[in-house]
Amino acid sequence: MSLSAAEQDVERASRLARSETVGRGLAAVRAWLYLIATLVFVMVLVGGATRLTGSGLSITEWKPVSGAIPPLTEQAWTAEFDKYRQISQYELVNKGMTLSEFKEIFWWEWSHRQLGRAIGLVFGLGFIGFLATGVLRGRLALTVLALGLLGGLQGAIGWIMVASGLKPGMTAVAPVKLMLHLTTASVILAGLLAVAAGLGRSAPEPTTRRVRGLATATLVAVLFQIALGALVAGSKAGLTYNTWPLMDGRFVPHLSGLFVISPWFENLVDNPLTVQFNHRMMAYALVAVAVAQAWTARRSLPGSSAARRTGAIASLALAQAALGVATLLAITPLSLGLAHQAFAMLVLSMAAVHWRLTRSVRPPA
């Protein structure tokens, strides 16, 4: 039976109202995901400051809940300091440190962990609320849940990393575990931004197979470079060979220097020359991929949003490379080290958003 004109008007109005309700719900989810991504970004920077100030081992226990309350009395501070004085970092690096100096490094690590708790709380409350109202459902709900579970795993990875530095004879965390910690945080950040960027899109952007392929290549290259940068930080490779473009007097060091440790694969983590060389070479490769992506998008999609985004990514990648050189030549001061890490997250953020926006295919006119 066909509907009357009045009934059709009611049906259209009902569909429009449902569409507007869904749109508002997705906008709220998008804002929530961007908020969490911002918190993750800040947490990465605080984590960088914690590492650069040598503060990461100042809290020697993992108390996910009760650890949220810092020492409130002088007696509690003394007890916390006594625990720190039992580990090798104090004995071999900071022996003679005063309680006041200990408080300075304690607050960095405490703030880093507190941000992790805040992210967990914001995610948990938001997820439950959006799930209960039906805004989060199906594939979107599963994707967001997977990111949340990865965030929970990241907390455990953080403690495993810290625990590696508490072992006898260790004065810092293991480089591989630092790499895992930072890379996991980077994947979470990229995932949050990619999901948020894809919500509520009215129509797919024009794109090509080559543009999509280069978007994937750029995102993978950024993540790989961040992982290599974590190895540089963990092994303190940035404090040696502080010349550019040559290192150890050559653009490509002697193989005997690159593979001095046996077995050979341990050089990838424990040999400062090899670790820094790999990071340098990957930086050149990343810039080349980012520039190629921008050139391709400009030629195949002139004047498009994709062309503008890829131009911005290439510019950020070049700026990040220059900042990396400046950080190296200055022997990694806190300000430049943090700026270098911040720019890495900016490049990653842009690459993740661009990758997501190239997924829905519409051939260019």
| Phi-psi category of residue 158: left, alpha or beta, with phi > 0 → left and psi -120 to 50 → alpha | alpha
3-state secondary structure of 247: strand
Residue carrying structure tokens 């993740």: 352
- Which of the 8 DSSP states describes residue 68? G
Q: In 10 A of CB 64, how many CB atoms?
A: 14
Residues 348 and 186 sit within 8 Å (Cβ to Cβ): yes
Q: How far is the C-alpha of 314 from the C-alpha of 307, rounded, in Å?
A: 11
- The CA-atom distances, in angstroms, between 334 and each of 36, 50, 53, 115, 139 are 26, 10, 8, 20, 42
What are the tokens at 279? Answer: 């990071």
279 is in an annotated binding site: yes
Residues 52 and 332 sit within 8 Å (Cβ to Cβ): yes
Full DSSP string of 261-280: SSSGGGHHHH-HHHHHHHHH
Q: Which amino acid is at 167?
A: K
Residue carrying structure tokens 């929530």: 32
Q: How far is the C-alpha of 32 from the C-alpha of 158, rounded, in Å?
A: 24
Residues 267 and 258 sit within 8 Å (Cβ to Cβ): yes
Tell me the CA end-to-end span of the chain in Å, nearest whole number.
42
What are the tokens at 335? Answer: 């300000």
Rg (CA), the chain: 24
354 is in an annotated binding site: no
Query: How many residues appear in the chain?
Result: 365
| Binding site listing | 279, 340
Which residues are annotated as part of the binding site for heme? 279, 340
